[in-house]
Amino acid sequence: MTLIPITEATHGVTLDIAYATSRNFTGKPVYARPLAFLHPEADIRLRKAIGLARALGLTMRIFDAFRPSEAQWVLWNHTPDPNFLADPRKGSPHSRGAAVDLTLIGADGVALDMGTGFDEFTPLSHHASTGISTHAQQNRFVLLGLMSAAGWNFYGNEWWHYQLFDAKKYPVLSDADAPEPMMTPA
């Protein structure tokens, strides 16, 4: 199975691959390279969501997509919290190329207020949190509506995480399965 590269040029999105930077909950880069890939079925649904967002004058910023199983172990070993991370022994939808973490960008180029940051592991990050502003709740619902209309399932604890409904049917993949390595320099 070939993973599809997600790029700014091919998808009209902004890439901000958090795990290739120190701006993630581990405080250090997990990926050596800021790349994004998805399973072909997930790519189809992402493109649909991008088109729906564009019709509203919005774009998408991708924080993460395919996550090699090696990276899932790094994250799990740092913070083994099953409320926010999939146990790598069971396999993450990200490690199957069947999940994407993202937010919405307004016409002014600024990310919409979602009430918390990406990877903020608190109850305030839950989709149904009422502990955030009404405006942020509305923004989350716009993202939820766009992604749901495009055929994505959501994870209730993370407003930024969407996955294919049948994600578990896809095999867990490693860095060697990516079109370009993510975990080690080329």
The residues annotated as belonging to the active site are 158
- Please give the Cα distance from 170 to 99 (Å, whole number): 11
For 122: left if phi > 0, alpha if psi spans -120 to 50, otherwise beta; the answer is beta
Q: How crowded is residue 49: how many other Cβ atoms within 10 Å of its Cβ? A: 23
For residue 7, give the DSSP letter.
-
Rounded to the nearest angstrom, the gap between the alpha carbon of residue 28 and the centroid of all alpha carbons in its chain is 18
For residue 3, give the DSSP letter.
P
Is residue 55 classed as helix, strand or coil in its secondary structure? Answer: helix
- CA angle 23/28/29 to nearest 5° reads 85
- Please give the Cα distance from 36 to 15 (Å, whole number): 8
- Please give the Cα distance from 80 to 179 (Å, whole number): 28
Nearest alpha-carbon partner for 150 in 48, 13, 6, 43:
48
